[in-house]
Amino acid sequence: MLAVLFLCSIALAQGAEPTVKTWGKPELVETDNTGDALSPLIAFDSEGNALSIWSQSSGGFLNLLANRYIEGKGWGKPELLETSDFGNAFFPRLLADTKGNAFAIWQQGDDIPWQKRYTQINIWTNHYVAGKGWGKAEYREAEKIGLSRFPHIAFDKAGNAIATWERTDGTRFKIWASRYTPNGGWEKAQLIEHNDIGHGDAYWPWVAFDPSGNAFVMWHQTDGKRFNVWAVHYTPSGGWEKPELMEHDDLGDALYPRMVFDSKGNGIAVWQQQGSTRVHIQAKRYDATKGWEKPEILENITQPTNGLQAQIAFDSQDNAIAVWEQSNGGKANVLANRYIAGKGWGKSERISIDNGGSVILPKIVIDSQGNAFSIWHQSDGNVFNIWAARYTLGKGWNTPELLEHDDSWHAANPEIAIDKNGNAIAVWQQSDSKQRFSIWANRFK
């Protein structure tokens, strides 16, 4: 027995116990004090380095800036991603592939001041190549007429990408897409929904790839009475298929679809949908061999509360977690539900704490082992703060942690990325004592 205790003490002394990962101290990612820095995004590469982009006011227009985090060295110096000073660059999206390459995509207006309505907004992209850096900003549309907005982008394993956005033709908003290949570059943008009879505006497209390079683009679209969720399938061999209605519940609006795929090409889509008494979170599974299954409700709530803004992510074992806001008419909390491959969805649970006010826009990321983070901003009755809850495989959700302690003004719009080892970086915008928003970050390691 003494020998066993002695050996255990040696093992502990030699560091056999794993290091407990924790959140560090918040740090400033940008130092330009000329104007507000807003809407940050974050993405990891396979080596633990990260990219962040955001919109920043130069005193006249909103520009798009980027900064890179290098593992072991920290944050570098921000750089400008676009040099077109004729309009605001805003609503950016960012996605990195497994090799460390990335695309930034955003919408940019003409020379009319941003407080007024634009007569023209276009979609732009910039490509980050690992080892080389950012390239030159480019148009994604041949026709620089009208309003194009709310872009989204995704990569497949081969480095191909699809960008999608909504664009008006003067009559209604329609869904467009452009495909990128490493050898050929960007293809000409094309219309991918053709619901011209009996349908109105189509909004907020979302694109997701499966492991074989097939993709779905989803959006919500009005039929003149309410919004429905639609999807269109893309295959490398056949191109874009015909749009398909995802739900047939005509009680109320179905909005903001999101979709992710597992390692076998099966997918899950989530959205919010008005029922007879409240707004539900719906989930619909896509079987790679059989097609779409029936939708099911994710929240196990008996009282009349609304579920809003669902997000979802898969782990490498083909399990998934969905999170969303659950409003009770007064405050909103964060709820989560876990999907287990081969078994289905479990029971929804609240993962936020009552800190005086409502939560807004929870996000979810999962590492390769099935551990996860959800992040959101939440009012304490005075200002908004940034909170994160961690899900540990086999243990469940921990008590949420506050990621910043500056109560001088609001902190909002957090985003989070996680690497293959379970390390994470959260970024957000935070106002200082002069009520100017800056970009801040915190590292979990």
| pLDDT value at residue 356 | 74
Residue 140 has pLDDT above 70, yes or no: yes
CATH of the domain at 230: 2.120.10.10
Determine the Cα–Cα distance for residues 200 and 219; give it in Å rounded to an integer.
12
pLDDT of 127 > 60? The answer is: yes
Q: Is 16 part of any domain? A: no
Range of lowest pLDDT (141-150, 254-263, 396-405): 141-150
Residue 227's domain spans which residues?
28-444
The pairing of strands 332-340 and 344-345 is: antiparallel
Domain membership flag for residue 242: yes
Token representation of residue 201: 């505006």
Considering the domain boundaries, does residue 368 fall inside one? yes
Whether residue 1 lies inside any domain: the answer is no
Listed in sequence order, the residues at least 6 apart from 255 whose beta carbon sits closer than 8 Å to its beta carbon are 204, 220, 227, 229, 271, 272, 273
Has residue 2 been placed in a domain? Answer: no
Residue 96 lies in a domain: yes
296-327 confidence digits (pLDDT tens):
999 987 666 899 999 999 999 999 999 999 98
**Cβ neighbour number for residue 323 with a 10 Å cutoff:** 31
Tell me whether residue 221 is in a domain: yes
- Mean pLDDT over residues 326-347, rounded? 92
Evaluate whether residue 416 is within a structural domain: yes
Query: Picking from 184-188, 423-427, 431-435, which range would have the lowest pLDDT averaged per residue?
Result: 431-435
Please tell me the total count of domains within the chain: 1
- Mean pLDDT value of segment 427-440: 89
pLDDT at position 144 is 61
Looking at residue 398, the DSSP 8-state letter turns out to be: -
DSSP codes of every residue in 265-308? S-EEEEEEEE-SSSEEEEEEEEETTTEE---EE-----SS-EEE
Percent of the chain with pLDDT over 90: 70
Whole-prediction pTM value?
A: 0.91
- The pLDDT confidence band at residue 269, using thresholds 50, 70 and 90, is very high
